[in-house]
Amino acid sequence: MSNDNLIKVTVWNEYGDAQKAPAVTRVYPQGLHETIAGFLNKDPEIEAQTAVLEDREQGLSEAVLDNTDVLIWWGHVYHDKVEDKTAQQVIDRVHRGMGIIFLHSAHKSKPFMSLLGASGRLCWREANEKTRVWTAAPGHPIAAGIPENFVIDHEEMYGEPFGIPQPQCTVFISWFQGGNVFRSGVTFQKEYGRAFYFQPGHETNPTYHHEIVQRVIVNAVKWAKPVIKVGPLNCPNVQSLEKLE
């Protein structure tokens, strides 16, 4: 089936009560995960499904993970409700080749902090302020077709210092109207898998309807798709290849 050539994306969203308030549903009536899956599914190379915290096995059963090439993660208020076991399975899959894209407030999620070995700390401000995203690495595949800079009219500010290890590539750096700057698009290689963090996406702002933001996420999915996926990474006892004295 030609279907097998598609990049299978699972868009995971905590989607708790906080996202069912009018301030959010006005922008994302079905939840922001559906908006994201919606624009991804317009790309002929991608097949996106959604999963939420309330689903069976927190939306991330073995069957779902087996069918996922790239996982997108959005969480904020309910990070603690994600079980350690769920987080560990996600990390294990990334080590084995699954790509992962962390959006916005995922910087304090269990998978983000454990996969990067990071505190995820930053400073923030909710002031619906203007942000300008600069492309610092225009040669990176995630920046393909993205202009030198672009504006999001209203966003939550996230500012440096950002508690992450040195990225493999700093693709985007954002400026916020209130004066702060932030490494807003950063990549990491985690054994077989690729990870990308992207800052924009406060739940009450229509950020995921922004055409350039959508293009960044589509690019990131294509960049993060597995080179290969492998089984569990263990520590085999092996024989000598050369003669031991």
The 3-state DSSP class for residue 211 equals helix
Number of residues that bind a second copy (CB under 8 A): 75
- Write the binding mask 157 to 196 for a second copy: x where contact by CB under 8 A, - elsewhere: --xxxxx-xxxxxx--xxx-xxxxx-x----xxxxxx---
**Which CB sits closer to a second copy, 36 or 87?**
87
Hey, which residues between 55 and 114 contact a second copy (CB under 8 A)? 84, 91-92, 95, 97, 108, 114
Q: Report whether 52 contacts 31 (CB < 8 A).
A: yes
- Residue 41 or 114: the one with the smaller Cβ distance to a second copy is 114
Our CB check for a second copy shows the closer of 49 and 149 to be 149
Residue among 52 and 122 whose Cβ is closer to a second copy: 122
Please, what sign has the CA dihedral across residues 100, 46, 78, 132? positive
Helix H or strand E encompassing 75: none
**Beta strand segments in 113-192, E:** 123-135, 149-159, 169-176, 181-190
Among residues 54, 62, 85, 138, which is the contact residue for a second copy, using CB under 8 A? 138
d(CA 49, CA 198): 20
- Considering only 64, 103, 115, 152, the residue that binds a second copy (CB under 8 A) is 115
Phi and psi at residue 110, in whole multiples of 5°? -60, -45
Q: Closest Cα to residue 154, out of 11, 21, 23, 22?
A: 23
Q: How far apart are CA 132 and CA 155, in angstroms?
A: 10
Of 16-24, 45-53, 65-73, 123-131, which part binds a second copy (CB under 8 A)?
123-131
Can you tell me which of 140, 154, 203, 218 binds a second copy, judged by CB under 8 A?
A: 140
Closest separation in Å from C-beta 242 to a second copy? 4
| Contact between 1 and a second copy per CB under 8 A | no
**231 binding a second copy? (CB under 8 A):** no
**Local structure of residue 81 (DSSP, 8 states):** G
Minimum gap (Å) between residue 37 Cβ and a second copy = 26
Per CB under 8 A, 49 contacts a second copy: no
- Selected from 6, 144, 206, 209, the binder of a second copy by CB under 8 A is 144
8-state DSSP, 13: E
Q: Which of 149, 206, 212, 222 binds a second copy (CB under 8 A)?
A: 149
Sort residue 117 into left (φ over 0), alpha (ψ -120 to 50) or beta. left
Burial (CB < 10 A; 0-12, 13-18, 19+), residue 222, is middle
Q: Which of residues 199-218 bind a second copy (CB under 8 A)?
A: none
